[in-house]
């Protein structure tokens, strides 16, 4: 049972407050407030231990606007790469699960919304990309990780720290980029199916190949479960069905021109509960069983990019167009009770010039982003504000990267955003890295970030209880980090330590008076901490990975909610000879954290403390032929009873078995 506290600074509404909106209406702001890699990949430049042991160089596409990706160990900021091997051995189904192993990340999940926080920043301070497409819901202002299922052969890149100088608004805390391989990179047919506890069935199919100058990759995923009770005081199982269909294709008629297209469709149907709003009830403010409540989220993402190389590849031009179209609908007793629509149209032009001299590789990049976001409530009752709004933004980016010899690198970026609603903003980012012959690498990074207010903060959530504030100013952040890494035995063991600090000005929070309304805070919110990792390989069979994060996140003199001060992850992997099978054990520790609970009839939040917990997963697989694998896993092996968000129950121990085929 959480411990009730009273030193609670009021915090801004986030997506849990507006999605589903009917929950917020019935519970009067129930979930107000904004809520390391123990795989084969870990920190600043660290990637899979398999690749490091084999001397392969890992390339990062997310950390630059240049058309040419950068080697991971040439970037001064903190990066984690989760590759195909890491996702497969951990039997990852939802990407949010494996992100618990990334240093500096906190995960919070409730029905209808899964949030990721990086280094104490808000969930809407993380920019999320899928195959280069910005996928946050324009209406909600953030991405629901509950709808991101792991495709076969995918990988994830995580950049921590301010990245607004590259990507603009939303990238205060960092960037998460989910990347699927092309048909040329991973051709063939693959399929996976598994099932187990709670009537759960997970499936994934991928068809990829090359036909002359065209390569293609078509994939589909579907996860379905009858679920478990979602309320601490309830027994109603909350079912969830999540699916995605994607097509990625490239046409390369010559060595100098390439055309890329990506189309992705996602849909989630999830049951949810309401909070008890009976003043006389002993469970007032707690989640209770609410039959026939369901939310349906649907999204279409698209990207078309043309790329042209000139001057023997030293001058590259890229022209990109992308679209995001999202729809969210809530139902009560099978009757539609609320809804929202969001749309983002974005066009970008990028050009990169490469030139070498005196042992230095120079890359100079310029970019222009033109973006329009539209938002609209589609509430059938007319109770909610239902007008359509839009915001236009033009961003100009200049970036310089220098690779100095084999050991040193430096990069600088500056961005100017011209917004038709908010004041124009300039952001920057600097980073540098140097590797000594002893295997020691020193690195540092600094930058600034900006996050524009969202639709619901500006224009109101629902009349009479929460009124938006059209005079809100953007949140602004500035931070820095320094790190050191040490490789031993030619990369068989790697250790690293990072210290970071960040200040957030004009943070948006919620004032609770007669009518709740958002405002900009006049004090500075601070985040600082330490991230540590270690990974080592013993022979060809054993791999150990460990991470630890200490976070100090303060707002208005108090601890920010859903930010545990201590998180850690430990994983041990054993592989049979010739990779005929293996076993992995992963333990994840989440320390104590605070949350806001609306358990007082005044509807002013009461600060409560959520207990710490340890989640242990056991995974095993065996290769029965060159094409067929069998696998199984136990999730929450110790049957831990825990909460990421106040009064939202989480699954206990569960068992799954399945098969994987390649053709």
Q: Could you tell me what percent of the chain has a pLDDT over 70?
A: 89
Q: How far apart are CA 263 and CA 541, in angstroms?
A: 40
Q: Measuring CA to CA, which residue among 287, 295, 278, 380 is closest to residue 331?
A: 295
Please give the average per-residue pLDDT across 84-111, as a whole number.
Answer: 92
What is the pLDDT at residue 33? 33
Q: Bigger pLDDT: 463 or 27?
A: 463
Which residues are registered as beta bridge partners of 255?
none
pLDDT at residue 2, as a whole number: 52
235 backbone dihedrals φ, ψ, rounded to 5°: -130, 0
Number of Cβ within a 10 Å radius of residue 76? 28
Output the six-digit token pair for 51. 């690749």
Q: Give 431's contacts (C-beta < 8 A, 6+ positions apart).
A: 75, 76, 77, 410, 411, 443, 444, 445, 446
Q: What pLDDT, on the 0 to 100 scale, is given for residue 47?
A: 44
Question: Distances in Å between the alpha carbon of 61 and those of 39, 79, 131?
Answer: 20, 11, 10
Residue 603, pLDDT above cutoff 90: no
- Residue 625's contacts (CB-CB under 8 Å, 6 or more residues apart) are none
Report which of 273, 270, 285, 271 is spatially closest to residue 30, judged by C-alpha positions: 285
Nearest CA among 289, 184, 179 for reference residue 234? 289
- pLDDT band at residue 23, thresholds of 50, 70 and 90? very low
Contact assessment for residue 163 and residue 502, using Cβ atoms and an 8 Å cutoff: no
Residues sharing a CB contact under 8 Å with residue 565, sequence separation 6 or more, in sequence order: 550, 551, 552, 559, 591, 592, 593
3-state secondary structure of 607: strand
197 — phi, psi (to 5°)?
A: -55, 150
Average pLDDT estimate for 515-524: 92
The confidence band for 34, taking pLDDT boundaries of 50, 70 and 90, is very low
For the segment 242-285, what is each residue's pLDDT rounded down to a tens digit?
999 999 999 999 999 999 999 999 999 999 999 998 888 999 99
Helix/strand/coil for 628: strand
For residue 303, the cross-strand partners are 262, 322
- Alpha-carbon distance 35 to 236, whole Å? 24
Work out the percent of the chain whose per-residue pLDDT is above 90: 76
Report the distance separating Cα 519 and Cα 510, nearest Å. 6
| Cα(27)–Cα(12) distance, integer angstroms | 16
Give residue 461's pLDDT.
Answer: 63
In this predicted structure, what is the pLDDT of residue 339?
A: 85
What is residue 37's predicted lDDT score, i.e. its pLDDT? 34
pLDDT band of residue 19 (cuts 50, 70, 90) is very low
pLDDT of residue 3: 53
| pLDDT tens per residue, range 209-232 | 999 999 999 999 999 999 999 999
Place of tokens 């990829």: 208
Is residue 28 over pLDDT 80? no
Q: Is 2 helix (H, G, I), strand (E, B) or coil?
A: coil
Specify the range with the lowest mean pLDDT, choosing from 47-61, 100-114, 497-511: 47-61
- Mean pLDDT, range 516-524, rounded to an integer: 93
Residue 199 CA to residue 226 CA, distance in Å, equals: 6
DSSP class per residue in 224-285: EE---B-BTT---B--EEEEEEEEEEEEEEETTEEEEEEEEEEEEEEE--EEP--TTSTTTT
DSSP notation for 478-523: EEEEEEEEEEEGGGTEEEEEEEEEEEEES-EEEE-SSSBEEEE-SS
The whole-angstrom separation of Cα 197 and Cα 195 is 7
User: pLDDT per residue over 152-198, tens digit each?
Assistant: 789 999 999 999 999 999 999 999 999 999 999 999 999 999 999 99
Least confident window among 59-73, 202-216, 411-425, 583-597: 59-73
Q: Are 162 and 477 in contact (CB under 8 A)?
A: yes
522's CB contacts (< 8 A; 6+ apart) are none
Query: pLDDT at position 51, please?
Result: 41
Extract the tokens encoding 424.
């124009």
pLDDT at 277: 87
> Both tokens of residue 70?
């950068």
Residue 123 φ/ψ, nearest 5 degrees: -65, -35
From 51-65, 100-114, 603-617, 621-635, the region with the lowest mean pLDDT: 51-65
Query: What is the Cα–Cα distance from 563 to 567, expressed in whole angstroms?
Result: 10
Q: How confident is the model at residue 57 (pLDDT cuts 50, 70, 90)?
A: low
Residue 295: strand, helix, or coil: strand
List C-alpha distances in Å: 282 to 207, 562, 606: 54, 25, 16
Least confident of 93-102, 327-336, 347-356, 476-485: 327-336
Bridge-based pairing state of the strands 613-623 and 606-610 = unpaired
Rounded CA gap, 229 and 287, in Å?
A: 10
- What is the predicted pLDDT for the residue at 7? 43
What is d(CA 427, CA 414) in angstroms, rounded to the nearest whole number?
Answer: 6
Average pLDDT, the chain: 89
Alpha-carbon distance of 229 to 244, in angstroms, equals: 25
Q: Is the per-residue pLDDT at 584 higher than 70?
A: yes
Two tokens at 647? 């009064």
Strand partners, 408: 404, 434
**Nearest-angstrom CA–CA distance, 110 and 125:** 19
Residue 464: its pLDDT value, please?
60
Terminal-residue alpha carbon distance, the chain: 50
Q: What are the chain's domains? A: 3-183+321-662 (2.40.170.20)
């Amino acid at each position: 049972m959480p411990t009730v506290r009273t030193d609670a600074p009021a915090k801004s509404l986030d997506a849990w407050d507006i999605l589903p909106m009917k929950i917020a209406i019935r519970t009067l702001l129930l979930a107000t407030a904004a809520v390391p890699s123990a795989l084969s990949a870990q920190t600043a430049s660290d990637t899979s231990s398999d690749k490091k042991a084999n001397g392969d160089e890992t390339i990062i596409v997310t950390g630059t606007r240049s058309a040419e990706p950068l080697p991971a160990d040439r970037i001064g900021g903190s990066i984690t790469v989760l590759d195909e091997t890491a996702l497969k051995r951990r039997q990852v189904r939802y990407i949010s699960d494996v992100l618990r192993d990334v240093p500096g990340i906190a995960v919070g999940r409730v029905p209808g919304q899964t949030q990721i926080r990086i280094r104490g920043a808000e969930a809407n301070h993380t920019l999320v990309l899928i195959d280069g497409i910005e996928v946050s819901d324009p209406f909600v202002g953030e991405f629901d990780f509950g709808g991101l299922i792991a495709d076969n052969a995918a990988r994830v890149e995580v950049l921590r720290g301010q990245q607004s100088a590259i990507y603009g608004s939303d990238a205060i805390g960092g960037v998460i980029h989910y990347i699927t391989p092309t048909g040329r990179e991973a051709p063939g047919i693959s399929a996976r199916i598994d099932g187990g506890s709670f009537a759960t069935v997970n499936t994934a199919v991928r068809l990829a190949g090359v036909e002359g100058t065209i390569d293609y990759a078509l994939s589909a995923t579907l996860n379905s479960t009858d679920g478990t009770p979602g309320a601490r005081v309830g027994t109603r199982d909350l079912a969830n069905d999540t699916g995605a269909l994607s097509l990625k294709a490239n046409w390369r008629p010559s060595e100098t021109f390439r055309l890329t297209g990506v189309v992705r469709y996602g849909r989630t149907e999830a049951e949810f509960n309401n909070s008890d709003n009976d003043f006389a009830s002993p469970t007032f403010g707690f989640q209770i069983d609410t039959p026939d409540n369901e939310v349906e989220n649907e999204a279409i993402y698209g990207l078309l990019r043309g790329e042209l190389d000139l001057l023997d590849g030293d001058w590259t031009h890229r022209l990109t167009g992308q679209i995001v179209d999202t729809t969210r609908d809530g139902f009560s007793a099978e009757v539609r009770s609320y809804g929202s629509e969001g749309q983002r149209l974005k066009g970008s032009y990028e050009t990169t010039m490469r030139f070498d001299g005196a042992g230095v590789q120079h890359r100079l990049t310029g970019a222009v982003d033109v973006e329009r976001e539209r938002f609209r409530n589609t509430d059938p009752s007319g109770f909610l504000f239902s007008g359509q709004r839009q915001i236009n933004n033009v961003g100009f980016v200049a970036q310089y990267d220098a690779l100095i010899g084999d050991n040193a690198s430096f990069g600088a970026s500056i961005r100017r955003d011209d917004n038709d609603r908010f004041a124009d903003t300039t952001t920057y980012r600097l980073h540098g890295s140097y590797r000594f012959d002893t295997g020691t690498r020193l690195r540092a990074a600094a930058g600034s970030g900006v996050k524009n207010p969202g639709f619901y903060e500006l224009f109101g959530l629902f009349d009479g209880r929460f009124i938006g504030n059209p005079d809100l100013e953007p949140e602004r952040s500035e931070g820095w980090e320094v790190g050191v890494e040490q490789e031993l035995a030619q990369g068989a063991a790697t250790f690293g330590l990072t210290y970071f600090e960040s200040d957030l000005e004009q943070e948006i929070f919620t004032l609770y008076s007669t009518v709740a309304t958002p405002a900009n805070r006049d004090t500075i919110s601070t985040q600082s901490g330490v991230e540590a990792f270690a990974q080592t390989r013993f022979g060809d069979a054993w791999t150990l990975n460990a991470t630890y994060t200490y976070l100090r996140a303060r707002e208005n003199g108090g601890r920010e909610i859903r930010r545990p001060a201590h998180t850690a992850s430990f994983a041990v992997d054993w592989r049979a000879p010739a990779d005929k099978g293996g076993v992995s054990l992963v333990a994840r520790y989440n320390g104590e954290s605070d949350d806001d609970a609306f358990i007082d009839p005044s509807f002013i939040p009461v600060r409560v403390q959520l207990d710490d917990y340890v989640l242990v997963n056991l995974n095993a697989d065996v290769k029965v032929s060159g094409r067929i694998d069998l696998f199984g896993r136990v999730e929450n092996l110790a049957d831990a009873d825990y909460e990421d968000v106040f009064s939202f129950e989480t699954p206990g121990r569960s068992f799954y078995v399945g098969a994987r085929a390649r053709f």
